Structure 1
Amino acid sequence: MSGIFTSRSGSTKTPSSRQSIMWLLVLLLLVFTAGMLLLSSLNLNYSREALSDLRRQQLNDVVGSGLQRINARQAALANYTITLANVGESFHEMVQTGFPDADREVLRERLENSLRAHLQDFEGAAGAGLWFEPGVLSESDTSYMPYFTLGTDNQELTRSDSEARFGHYRSAPWFSRTLGEDWTADTDAAGTVYWSPVYYDLGIERAVLTLATPMFDRQGNLLGLATTAWGADQIIDVVSRITVTENSFTFLNDRNNRNLSSLSKGEDTREEQALIDAILALELVGEASRENNGSTDATVLTDTLTTRQLTVGDEHYELYFAATAGGMVYGAGVPFDEINAVLRPMEQTNQRILIGTVSVMLLLSLYLLYRIIQLIRELQASYTDELTGLPNRIRLLRDLQSRDNASLLIINLDRFNEVNSLFGNVCGDHVLLAIATRLTSFTRDHELEVSRVYRLPGDEFAILTPLLEPMAIQEVAREIRDLVTGDRIYWQHQPLTIDVSIGMATRRDRKPEDSADQLVSQAKAAVLQARQQNRHHVLYDPSVGIEENYENNLYWANRLKEAIDNDRLVPWFQPIHDNHSGRITKYECVVRMVEPDGSVISAGHFVDIADRLRLNRRITVLMIEKCFACFSERDETFSINLSYGDITDPETVEPIIQTLEQSGIGSQVIFEILESDGITNYKDIGAFIERVRPFGCGIAIDDFGTGYSNFAHLLSLNVDFIKIDGSLIRNLHEDHTAFLVTSGIVQFARSLNIRTIAEFVHNEAVQDRVCELGIDFSQGEYFGMPLSRL
């Protein structure tokens, strides 16, 4: 064996294809689950962002509506101031057009009365004044500056002595706060309202803010300024009535970044102060002014809300703010928790959907994985022998398809059925497992590149190897036999002697038309040849012609099936001569195949194939139907051959009984039972005879003299005829031994009152010896060959 096999000191176990598939499926499952989680997460994030944007837009609208209310209030204050300026300009115009200087005092009185009326009409106003330039409604070196204040009860009006206190309105405290020290008049400032920060007015003891707007004559000369003073609570009240969310707060800072409003955070003053300080530290006034580019248009201001993040302690807020028409900053702070509160139900719902979806997909994936594992196991089982775990015949054929060059050894266990019969199937399984283990060890310990052991049906194993030369493969076969027979297999302490017959076949350069099982068929043919030649192993030799025999069998199998399907199997009739009366009194019905071209083929060409394909039962039933139909109007007796298999098969017996019942010619029928047809249970024959006897049928034993227990069983079967085998009759005139044997059969039959029929009577000499022996009937070429007609 050196040079053929190399010993393996160790082996490396590689992952099986099944493990690879399993890992691939698990990876696909993980990727699928991860993909589902990613998609669900993206969907959740998208929904969260969409709802968050919607929530922020809602908050933006709420804050914007508050801003519009504040802007509307501030616009009203500005309009009041402009109205007051118009009053001042109107009185100056009256002076210029019709009032003489002598009436100046009257005009001032009227003006101040109008000023008082407007102050009382201005809801929430704390003061109002007209501050004229020197010489306007006064002497050229003095300024007329009527200014009235309204008490906190909105009832008491007081005229301030502003002329004496300030001399010029630029010296009044409100001027620098509202316009700044360097303010100069410009005709473009007509209609512009200037706002002061909130400050505390000592005169009226209130926190106020002042609005001022310039007054001009027709020529664009500055006449002075109209002012209104407003209590800070007018704006603060508006802010305090605005609610965004439950725990939100609103604020209003003046242009000096001072907070004018109380925060609606609750009773915790320290928390309120922390919020105020944090907001003031942001200096939102400048940022809000930059956002609206200094515009005081209410629509523009509303559309330019700015957002910022604010953190105070552990609380996180989102600020919405914008500059107001009066140059202040209004805003609201909303806790993140309340912004996200609206998202929680959606998040919870999405999480439940996500969990449900992932759970369903996971369960579905696990079920699919389970089913795939089952399919893999079933697929593996279809390629694996259940008992030994070895690859089976299907796997062998598949492996052969991928090999152009290969050698195959089929190991058949000799007389294995006897092991099963003696010790039972459990013992047989034990033997098969032991042989499988030995063969597997053989291929594992002595490896030629790639070799594999297979379990074939029944008691056969196969080893597929790369292409080996004839000497090498026969050496392998010898070593395998030594391996199997060298060590006995024990069953319950009982040694079992197992021998094998090995068939070998090789294939070099497989042709496209070669089938996958061709090598298997060749190796099996070699096994059969080894048994026939009483050899331990045989290498298939193509020159023997086994392949041609297989092709011939296939050819006749196809022709037989076509003949049955196309009703081309017909009965022919051979005459049987009555040696006592000298007449033809009986006919034996034999089957013939009629070819499409009209040629006729005898049964010898296809009867063996019919038996192997289990088509003989169909042929028997067909012959019963056609023969009964032919003799239904005739008086002759006719015989039909039945095999032991026909008699033991209910699908054949029942149609026979049914035909006997319907035809009414049972007394004309003789059923010939082939004595050499491997009868294993003569009780079956007796049971059939008992069923057909009531119809008057005769029973004949065909080919009598070829079996081993004829005489013993004739006594129990109670037959009517025996047909002496042609091997005795053919040479009866020349072979004295055949004459003596036939004579004994005739005497035995006559003693049992059984009539005899001689087959293969082919000439007059044989017929003379038949008559000499006293045989009742003769059949053969001498009286006529089978014909298609009676």
Structure 2
Amino acid sequence: MLPVKRAIMVLLSLLVGLFLLGSWLIASLNLEFAENAMGTLRERQITDTFYANLDRINAHHRLMEQSTRGLARAGGLLLRNPADPATQADTLRNALQDFPDSYGSSLWYREPGRPAHYAYRQGQGIQVEPVSADEQQRLTTWFQRLRGLQPPIEPAQQWTAAYYKSSINAVVISHATLIRDAQGRPLGLAMTDWLADDIIRTVSRVEVTPGTFAFLLDHDNRNLSSLSDAADVDRAQQMINSVTALQLHQRLQDQPLPIISSRQLASPMQQLRHQVDEQHYSLFYSPTRAGMIFGIGVPQTEIDAVLTPMRDSSTRIQLLAGTVMLIISALILYLVAGTLRQLRNLYTDPLTHLPNRERLLADLRKTHTASLLLLNLDAFKEINDFYGHQCGDHVIATLAEALQQHLNERADWRGSRLYRMPADELAIWLPGHHNQEQLTPALTRLLGFISNLEIRWQEQDIPLHASIGVACCNQREAQDLSGEQLLPAANIALELARAGNESFVFYDASRGVREGYEQNLIGANRLRAALEEQRIVAFFQPIMDVSSRRIEKYECLVRMIDEHGEPVSPIHFLDLAKKVRLYRAITRCMIDSAIERFADQRCSFSINLSCEDLLDPELADYIISTVESHAVGQRVIFEILESEGIENYAAVRQFIDRAKALGCLIAIDDFGTGYSNFEHLMRLNVDLIKIDGSLIRQLEDNPTAVTLCRGIVQFAEELGMQTVAEFVHSPAVLKKVEELGIQFAQGAAIGMPSASLITEISVLDADEPGTRS
């Protein structure tokens, strides 16, 4: 018996020893892995924060450069007129009003006798005064420096270091560019100022850890830092001096440090260990668009602080191994508790402690007869944007608690379960057979309860309104839904409720909404394939000069070539392209196809652009750069769709001014449809009016259409604009167009859209209907 007992003890001792050794090894490996993962995550967070703020500063630089170049163009236009201080002052005021982040702007001309003025913000207004003698000397120096540069001039060469401007008693950084005449000769200087206090406020917005500071070094290594607002002035000055002493500009030029992140190859982030007194910092820095150095300093202790709780936890676990039985018991309990914790976290929302979407999906798989309500808070994004995400979390948590209590207290919700879905959605699962008539009163009361719920945040009332999508297993005129189909069906109903601005919508399978979604998906795949296979092409419709009967222009129209080689009209795919975000790719394809086709032609050609195109900064830049690089601006006409409504005049006019600077013409398309706003023609500097086919096609037999067209023509003539008649589908209509004095015509009577250019006119002998897209 004794040998057996001893053997058991030995075996148990060996087992415990192996278990202890295995536990120690696993704990060590887990700790090492977790430390590496957490360190990588922390480094990624710092990198993301760094580049987010670098992008913000570069965006400001870019806008400031655009503002200066715009001011220079305006200054060049002033050269054509006699020197007028009032006109120059208005130009400077407009420049500051158009770019609110700029503090001041100047226009200076080399020619003696030309007035030079400086505009700057003073309170809520803008003050304009002549440039001082000292400033005249500084502008002369900058002018000589910039004039000596060979194009293309790098943006960094156009920025100054921080300097004191006595006229406003402030420190600024300026961006300057040359004013040129029509022949490109430099005749003056345009300058925009960035106030040092604004720079300090900009870098002070950087947040990584409580001890983090941010800095911006100008070309002369002067430091504009968030430490300027620190409470401990002596300590802050010591840190600023230590950063400037590093000579980061020189480090980047002489001995580039290893690249920490290559996300932006143009401005790779560098890292440097730095010590002030006995405190260690990690400095992350990179050059900006303007050639300055932006950086952040993060205390090393705060970077390493995320690892401390992890190490403490590992130590506590290892200390539990006091005895064999205690270790075994504690480990079993720990594993069981950990498993239960993981299962609970997998199916529980941490904010509301409600079951989450994963739990709902698991429950729906076991559901045979039930209803599912998907509740979405209206305007929740605005609450998050205005009050912050903490307020959004407070609203969701408060609403979830109140809803749970409401469902528990109401008999008509007996047996229901509340779930937290992603973002601002909640789901209510209700067992049993239900229909629309049974649930409508309960839904009305539920929405009323949500609207009357009092939620406050920072002494402010937060009003709530919700939309609900409902799906029931029992369908009256269609096949019943399974439990797993309830969630996608409720999603569809919710989308219909939000699109129709209704409080709640019941999913009805007989309406075929799901099938419509399926068709849209198929159409989207076809459209993507067409783009990838270059089957989005341009067709060209001739535009005739009515007086000379010659083809002088063409309108470029988009077509999709299907799998059988047949062209497909845009009415079958443009709306879908907007929904699946392929509209920009189609516009780019049309720009490339049209310019390539007419690159070696002498005739003009027009391209249709929607307001959505003009308000897309990236697409607008691409259009302008493509026209400029191919030198076809004098032959391009951009047709803006009037029927879509033009509301953001400033952004649209910005594109128009850039296009006109290249020689392009602007036309208002489909004029006369819907709400025709004559203000568009005056505010947008339009060159051509394209009278919509809905009026032109009625010229034969509708006196009202004739009167309207005559009024449009007279209006255009008085403003010096040309007119184009669309949908001229017969010789009789063409004759009416000629009698009204409309200068150009297009339509079936002239020529239909074709893949090749129609150069000879073929007028129809009969009224044959035609279409134009």
Structure possessing the higher radius of gyration over alpha carbons = 1
Compute the TM-score of the two structures, normalised by the length of structure 1.
0.48
Q: Which has the higher contact order (CA 8 A, sep 6+)?
A: 1
Compute the TM-score of the two structures, normalised by the length of structure 2.
0.49
